[in-house]
């Protein structure tokens, strides 16, 4: 199978506990739902995000067994202003090796970090 290359840029939320590991370069992979068709050569803009306590960043809360909409405003949490840019070096697609179909594991290289406005 031939590897497909791309040069798309994807802006993604990353929770603080993972952002710290990415920015220190100790976490060199990213597991994601592959709803953006990630490919080798893509750039990830990883923005540190603190999710809402009630909905955990999803916009939905469990209420009597049913999911209800959270009343917190979009984006259901707060960006810290920290950002890491990374390149995608390899993509392992789901449906194999225990990775759920529709998800992927990406090998990434952090290109740099910076503080940006929220």
CATH code of the domain containing 42: 2.30.130.30
Q: Give the closest residue to 30 by CA, choosing from 10, 8, 2, 55.
A: 10
pLDDT at 45: 97
Pairing of strands 103-115, 29-33: antiparallel
Whether 19 is covered by a domain: the verdict is yes
Q: Please check whether residue 36 lies inside any domain of the structure.
A: yes
**Residue 101 resides in a domain:** yes
Task: Label residue 95 by pLDDT band (50, 70, 90).
Answer: very high
Closest CA to 25 of 112, 117, 99, 104: 112
- The answer to whether residue 52 is domain-embedded is yes
pLDDT at 112: 95
Number of domains in the chain: 1
Contacts of 68 (CB under 8 A, 6+ apart): 60, 61, 62
Instruction: Say if residues 87 and 113 touch (Cβ distance below 8 Å).
Output: no
**pLDDT at 68 (0 to 100):** 79
* 41-87 confidence digits (pLDDT tens): 999 999 999 998 888 888 888 765 667 788 888 888 999 999 999 99
| Residue 3 within any structural domain of the chain | no
- Which pLDDT value is given to residue 63? 65
- Determine, yes or no, domain membership for 82: yes
Range 14-19 average pLDDT: 95
Q: What count of other Cβ atoms lies within 10 Å of the Cβ of residue 77?
A: 20
pLDDT confidence of residue 22? 97
d(CA 110, CA 48): 14
Residue 20 lies in a domain: yes
DSSP letter at 96 equals B
Terminal-residue alpha carbon distance, the chain: 41
Task: Domain of residue 108: give its range.
Answer: 9-57+67-115
Alpha helices (H) along the chain: 16-23
Domain assignment of residue 1, yes or no: no
Model confidence, pTM? 0.85
């Amino acid at each position: 199978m031939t590897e497909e290359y791309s040069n798309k840029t994807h802006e993604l939320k990353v929770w603080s506990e993972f952002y710290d590991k990415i920015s220190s370069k100790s976490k060199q992979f990213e597991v994601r739902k592959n709803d953006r068709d990630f490919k080798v050569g893509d750039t990830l803009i990883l923005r540190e995000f603190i999710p809402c306590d009630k909905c955990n960043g999803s916009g939905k809360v469990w209420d009597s067994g049913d999911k209800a909409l959270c009343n917190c405003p979009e984006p259901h949490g707060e960006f810290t202003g920290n950002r890491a840019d990374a390149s995608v070096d390899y993509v392992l697609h789901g449906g194999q090796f225990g990775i759920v179909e529709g998800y992927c594991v990406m090998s990434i290289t952090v290109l740099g970090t910076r503080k940006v406005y929220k």
